[in-house]
Amino acid sequence: MNAATEAHHLQIMLDGESMAAHWMPFTANRQFKQAPRLLVASEGMYYTTHDGRRVLDMIAGLWCCNAGHRREPIVRAIQEMAATLDMATPFNMGHPAAFTAAARVIAMAPANMKHVMFTNSGSESVDTALKIALAWHRQRGQGSRTRLIGRVRGYHGVNLGGTAVGGIVGNRKLFGALVAGVDHLPSTHLPEVNAFSRGQPAHGAYLADELERLVALHDASTIAAVIVEPVAGSTGVLIPPKGYLERLREICTRHGILLIFDEVITGFGRTGAAFAAQRYGVMPDIITCAKGLTNGSVPMGGVIVSGDIYEAFMQGPEHLPELPHGYTYSAHPLACAAANATLKLYADEGLFARAHAMAPTFEDAVHSLRGTRHVIDIRNDGLVAGIELEPRPGAPGARAFEVFLACYQRGLLVRTTGDIIALSPPFIVEEAQIAQAVDTLREVIAQTA
């Protein structure tokens, strides 16, 4: 055990009171502080916990660490950059690693994507993308296009714009109207006809036609953009029905509405292609990304745009910023170093191809849970899967949360949302580890009341 790990182990001494200062994000603080679960080290497919146990990480951190944890080339790149260039003013100044990182992103993005603006998170990427969409219409003399359309069960981070276009009532009701003029498409989840689909479900393309209804209701001249996750991640792994994204693209194009794919989870290989846009063969105008961009090692996000979007801004006086937007830490040297090393590692090890190749094994394994008590649906694509449990009457979410806790005790980290268990392993996952995870889940789910 190294000194850092040892120091962390001292934290087991922490009691609820001494943990009070840290208001933990998206966490049941009171429950957690009664029985803390601390991660103190990571390597490859595993975490080490504060009580010295190894836990198999089947969620890649939080859909981030696609190459596995603490990979040597990424660690080295961050260390070297920290020892060379700590901070570089991003406004009217630059540093080399930012330009290489951007070029690498564009090289793996869909062919129509030509430029990327860096942010520090998925939430910042989403709000940046929404602002770019609004500004783009103004640049073209269509300033009446201010309406943003999201989708029920969409998750687009927690900033004002992303919360507003998000489709999770629990995330919005505490904050009021947030952004004016937002509307939502219906969710693509159709369990009655699509339960236990493997890959893209057969039914539901028609749900894209709801956009036509919104256009008829609000008029296209008021609508700036539609934002959807190609695969809804945090609301429980909703794979797009066959033909759905194509139809959404077609309707957006017909009405001059920008299509934004939020690929914060699907970006960088999760579906077996670099981006879900490529996986499903549908090209948006803007892609948001984060997480896998640095393998989760340093906070970083990006907004990737088509040539058309960027070019519309490249006018006016040349000494002025074309877009009054950006963050102090946009393209931070540490993040860019991490991104460069990460994207090179993905390519060197052929990790997206590996995710694609491992997907059928993963699919068979997760679908073997069909028939296990409580399991009412299983859905998957690439290396992402959702296993839905029947909610316990009167206590939605309780059953899956108990499964999460029991798995953790047995050395397996999964993610739950409502009564859905999500799996999104690093792409280095071995067949035996998939089998181990599924066997543990099978036993734990069956034993859960």
| Full DSSP string of 224-284 | EEEEE-SSB-TTT-BPPPTTHHHHHHHHHHHHT-EEEEE-TTTTTTTTSSSSHHHHHT---
DSSP category for residue 120 = S
**Is there a contact between 81 and 337 (Cβ–Cβ < 8 Å)?**
yes
Of 321, 253, 416, 71, nearest to 424 by C-alpha is 416
Strand 54-57: give its sheet, edge to edge: 39-43, 46-49, 54-57, 412-413
Stretch that binds ligand PXG, among 87-95, 98-106, 119-127, 313-321 (CB under 6 A): 119-127
Q: Which of 48, 417, 433, 448 binds ligand PXG (CB under 6 A)?
A: 417
Binding-residue pattern over the window 375 to 414 for ligand PXG, x denoting contact by CB under 6 A:
----------------------------------------
Nearest-approach distance from CB 25 to ligand PXG, in angstroms: 8
Burial of 264 (0-12, 13-18, 19+ CB in 10 A): buried
Q: Could you say whether residue 297 binds ligand PXG (CB under 6 A)?
A: no
| Full DSSP string of 50-118 | TTS-EEEETTHHHHT-TT-BS-HHHHHHHHHHHTT-S----SS---HHHHHHHHHHHHHS-TTEEEEEE
Kindly tell me which of 139 and 263 has the beta carbon lying closer to ligand PXG: 263
Nearest-approach distance from CB 263 to ligand PXG, in angstroms: 7
Q: Which of 229, 363, 377, 381 binds ligand PXG (CB under 6 A)?
A: 229
Kindly tell me which of 110 and 167 has the beta carbon lying closer to ligand PXG: 167
Nearest-approach distance from CB 386 to ligand PXG, in angstroms: 10
Q: What angle do CA 151, 380, 272 make, to 5 degrees?
A: 95
Q: Could you say whether residue 296 binds ligand PXG (CB under 6 A)?
A: no
User: Which run of H or of E encompasses 393?
Assistant: none
Of 388, 379, 389, 385, nearest to 429 by C-alpha is 385
Q: Which of 61, 68, 110, 122 binds ligand PXG (CB under 6 A)?
A: 122
Query: Three-state SS across 135-190?
Result: HHHHHCCCCCCCEEEEECCCCCCCCHHHHHHCCCHHHHCCCCCCCCCEEEECCCCC
Stretch that binds ligand PXG, among 91-99, 227-235, 316-324, 426-434 (CB under 6 A): 227-235
| Nearest residue to ligand PXG, scored by beta-carbon proximity | 122
Distance CA 210, CA 208 (A): 5
3-state secondary structure of 366: helix
Nearest-approach distance from CB 152 to ligand PXG, in angstroms: 14
Q: Could you say whether residue 290 binds ligand PXG (CB under 6 A)?
A: yes
Q: Could you say whether residue 62 binds ligand PXG (CB under 6 A)?
A: yes
Kindly tell me which of 263 and 377 has the beta carbon lying closer to ligand PXG: 263
Q: Which of 47, 118, 136, 155 binds ligand PXG (CB under 6 A)?
A: 155
Q: Which of 57, 127, 210, 262 binds ligand PXG (CB under 6 A)?
A: 262
Q: Which of 121, 139, 294, 340 binds ligand PXG (CB under 6 A)?
A: 121
Q: Could you say whether residue 265 binds ligand PXG (CB under 6 A)?
A: yes
Kindly tell me which of 299 and 333 has the beta carbon lying closer to ligand PXG: 299
Q: Residue 58 CA to chain centroid, in angstroms?
A: 15
By CB under 6 A, the count of residues binding ligand PXG is 18
The site for ligand PXG (CB under 6 A) is made up of 26, 62, 121-123, 126, 155-157, 229, 233-234, 262, 264-265, 290, 415, 417
